[in-house]
Amino acid sequence: MSVKEAEVLEHGTSLAHPAHEEILGEQFETLEQQNNAYLIGMWAFIVQEVLFLGAIFAAYGIYRLKYLHEFTLAHKELDWVVGGINTLVLLASSYTMARAVRAAMQNKHGRQILYLGFTLFFAGIFMFNKYIEYSKKYEHHLIPGWGYDAHAIVEHGEKKKILEPLPDGNYKIKLETEKTVTPEEFKQRTQLFLGFYFILTGLHGLHVLVGMIAIGVLMVRAYIDYKKRKPVADYMPVEMVGLYWHFVDIVWIFIYPLLYLIGR
C-alpha cells in the first residue's frame, strides 16, 4: 500500500468543499474529477465529429480531383463575399464566446449573459446569411434533387469565357487544361458539387443551430444563478459549449477555403 493510499484510507476519499456539492454530480468524488471528465468527454465527442465530417471532406476531395473542371465552375456559384462575412462573424462569435467562458469562471453573471448574447447575435447573423445564400441557390435552381438545373452555371461560365457551348450541344470548359463534357455530365457533376456544398454547410448549420440552443439555455441558467446569487462559479457548462462552439467555427474555417475560395 502506497503512502497516498494509506492517507486516503485514513481520511476518507472525498474532500469536497460543501459549497461545491450543489454542482457536483453524485457519481463524482471531487469537482476536479467532474471537470476533467467533462473535458475528456467533450474532446472525445469532438474527435468523433472530426471523423464524421472528415469522411465527407475526403469524399469531396476525391471528386474535386476527378471533376476539377466542372467543380471549378460550380465553385464560382458560391458567394465568397457572403462566405467571407460569415467567416468574420463566426470568428467574432468565437471571441465573445471565449469572453463568456472567462466571465463564467469569474462568476460574473451579468457579463456572462452579455457575451453569450453577443455570441447568439453573431450566430443569428450567420444563419441569416446562410438563409440568403440558400434562397439564391433556390432561385437559380441549384438545389440538388429539387428541380436542379445547371443553366445558371453555364451562363456564368460563358460570361467569364471559361465555358463554351459547342455546336454539337456539348460544353467545352477552358481552364489551364480543357475538357469537353455533355450537358448531362455537366449537370450531374455540378450537382455533385452542390450536393457536397449543401451536405457540408447543412450539417455545419445544424451544428450552429444546436449551439445556439445551448447558448440560449446557458443564458437562462446564468440568469437564474444571478438571481440566486450563486456563490460558486458553475462554469463547466459554459466551457463545454465554448469548446463545441470553437470546434464549429473551425469546421467553417475548413469549409470556407475548400468550397468558396479554392475555385476562384
Instruction: Using alpha carbons, select from 153, 155, 150, 144 the residue that is nearest to residue 201.
Output: 144
Round to whole Å and give the CA distance between 264 and 261: 6
Q: Count the residues of the shown chain that bind other proteins, applying the rule CB under 8 A.
A: 64
Among 180, 212, 214, 246, binds other proteins (CB under 8 A): 180
- Contact between residue 211 and residue 203 where contact means Cβ atoms under 8 Å apart: no
Per CB under 8 A, 62 contacts other proteins: yes
- Contact between residue 148 and residue 191 where contact means Cβ atoms under 8 Å apart: yes
User: Residue 115 Cβ, how far from other proteins at the closest point, in Å?
Assistant: 27
Among 3, 31, 49, 112, binds other proteins (CB under 8 A): 49
Instruction: Tell me the CA distances in angstroms from 151 to 54, 142, 155, one per residue in order.
Output: 31, 9, 6
For 210, the 3-state DSSP assignment is helix
- Contact between residue 189 and residue 219 where contact means Cβ atoms under 8 Å apart: no
Instruction: Tell me the CA distances in angstroms from 101 to 88, 120, 194, one per residue in order.
Output: 20, 14, 36
Per CB under 8 A, 145 contacts other proteins: yes
Per CB under 8 A, 213 contacts other proteins: no
91/213 with CB nearer other proteins: 213
Per CB under 8 A, 147 contacts other proteins: no
Round to whole Å and give the CA distance between 73 and 165: 14
Per CB under 8 A, 125 contacts other proteins: no
Per CB under 8 A, 19 contacts other proteins: no
Round to whole Å and give the CA distance between 54 and 50: 5
Rg value, the chain, Cα? 25
User: Residue 145 Cβ, how far from other proteins at the closest point, in Å?
Assistant: 3
User: Residue 57 Cβ, how far from other proteins at the closest point, in Å?
Assistant: 10
Q: Which residues, in sequence order, are bridge partners of residue 172?
A: 164, 180
Q: Which stretch binds other proteins (CB under 8 A): 100-108, 170-178, 205-213, 248-256?
A: 170-178
Q: Which stretch binds other proteins (CB under 8 A): 5-13, 78-86, 154-162, 208-216?
A: 5-13
Per CB under 8 A, 165 contacts other proteins: no
User: Residue 129 Cβ, how far from other proteins at the closest point, in Å?
Assistant: 24
For 77, the 3-state DSSP assignment is coil
Contacts with other proteins by CB under 8 A lie at 1-2, 4-5, 8-9, 11-16, 18, 21, 25-29, 33, 36-37, 40-41, 44-45, 47-49, 51-56, 59, 62-63, 66-67, 69, 144-146, 166, 168, 170, 172-173, 176-182, 184-185, 188-189, 191-192, 195, 199
